[in-house]
Amino acid sequence: MPEQPLTRVIEFDPEDEYRPEPEPEAAPPTWMDGSLRIGIHTSIAGGYTNALDSAHKLGCNALQIFSASPRMWAGGPSRIPEVDAVAFHARRQKLGLGPLVIHANYLINLAAQQPMLRTRSIQAFHDELVRGIALGAEFVVVHPGACGECKPDQAVRLAIDSVKQASKNLPATSLRILLENTAGMGTALGARLEELGEMLSALQGLEVGACLDTAHLFAAGYDIRSETGLASTLELIDRAIGLERVPVFHVNDSKIPLGGRVDRHEHIGKGKIGAEAFRRFLTHPRLSAIAPEGLPGRAFLAETPIDDPGDDRRNVAALWEFAGLKDQAPEAEKGFSMLTAAAKKKVAQQVKSQRKTSQAASRKMPASVAPADRLPRSSRSGGRFLQPSKKSPAKPKKRRRG
Ligand SMILES: [Zn+2]
Ligand SMILES: [Zn+2]
Q: CA dist 11 to 5, 165, 257, 351, Å? A: 15, 54, 79, 86
Residue 396's pLDDT is 39
Q: Say how many Å lie between the CA of residue 144 and the centre of ligand 1.
A: 12
Helix (H, G, I), strand (E, B) or coil at 154: helix
Looking only at the bridges linking them, the beta strands covering 248-250 and 253-254 are unpaired
| The pLDDT of residue 2 | 53
Higher pLDDT, 15 or 332: 332
So what's the pLDDT on residue 18?
A: 72
Cα atoms in the Cβ-side hemisphere of radius 13 Å centred on 303? 26
Task: Please give the distance, rounded to the nearest whole angstrom, from the Cα atom of residue 362 to the centre of ligand 2.
Answer: 31
275-304: per-residue pLDDT in tens? Answer: 999 999 999 999 999 999 999 999 999 999
Q: 182 CA distance to ligand 1 centroid (A)? A: 8
pLDDT band at 9 (very low <50, low <70, confident <90, very high): low
pLDDT band at 386 (very low <50, low <70, confident <90, very high): very low
Indicate the class that CATH gives domain 30-339.
Answer: alpha beta
For the chain, the average pLDDT equals 88
- In angstroms, what is the span from residue 3 Cα to ligand 2's centroid? 78
3-state helix, strand, coil in the chain (%, to 5): 40, 10, 50
> What whole-number distance in Å separates Cα of residue 141 and Cα of residue 123?
16
CA distance 305 to 81: 30
Regarding pTM above 0.75, the answer is yes
Query: By percentage, how much of the chain surpasses pLDDT 70?
Result: 86
85 CA to middle of ligand 1, Å? 25
Q: What is the pLDDT of residues 206-246, one digit of tens each?
A: 989 999 999 999 999 999 999 999 999 999 999 999 999 99
Distance 239 CA to ligand 2 centre (A): 23
Task: Quickly state the pLDDT bin for 399 (edges 50, 70, 90).
Answer: very low
- Give tens-digit pLDDT for 235-279: 999 999 999 999 999 999 999 999 999 999 999 999 999 999 999
How is the chain split into domains, by residue range? 30-339, 343-384
Burial 117-142 (b: 16+ CB within 10 A, else e): ebebbbebbbbbbbbbbbbbbbbbbb
Q: 172 in helix, strand or coil?
A: coil
* C-alpha 249 – ligand 1 centre gap (Å): 8
* CA 25 – ligand 1 centroid, Å: 34
pLDDT higher than threshold 70 for residue 379: no
Lowest mean pLDDT among 24-33, 131-140, 307-316: 24-33
Evaluate if residue 394 carries a pLDDT over 60: no
243 Cβ neighbours under 8 A, 6+ residues apart: 234, 237, 286, 287, 295
Q: What is the pLDDT of residues 74-98, one digit of tens each?
A: 766 678 999 999 999 999 999 999 9
Of the ranges 66-80, 119-133, 186-200, 360-374, which one carries the lowest mean pLDDT score? Answer: 360-374
% pLDDT > 90, the chain: 72
User: Could you check whether the bond before residue 77 is cis, i.e. omega within 30 degrees of 0?
Assistant: no
CA distance 197 to 245: 10
> What spacing in Å lies between the alpha carbon of 100 and ligand 1's midpoint?
15
| CA–centroid distance, residue 368 to ligand 1 (Å) | 34
pLDDT band at residue 364, thresholds of 50, 70 and 90?
Answer: low
> Which ligand sits nearest to residue 264's alpha carbon?
2
What spacing in Å lies between the alpha carbon of 170 and ligand 2's midpoint?
Answer: 28
Q: What is the CA radius of gyration of the chain?
A: 24
Distance 10 CA to ligand 1 centre (A): 68
* pLDDT, tens only, 14-70: 677 776 677 677 788 999 999 999 999 999 999 999 999 999 999 999 999 999 988
Distance between Cα 217 and ligand 2 center (Å)? 10
Distance 16 CA to ligand 1 centre (A): 56
Region class of 47: left (phi > 0), else alpha (psi between -120 and 50), else beta? left
Q: Which ligand is nearest to the CA of 185?
A: 2
pLDDT of residue 167: 97
* Top-confidence range, 4-8, 12-16, 26-30, 104-108: 104-108
Ligand 2 mean position to 54 CA, how many Å?
Answer: 21
Contacts for 77 with CB less than 8 Å, ≥ 6 apart: 68, 393
Torsion sign, CA atoms 204, 210, 216, 217 = positive
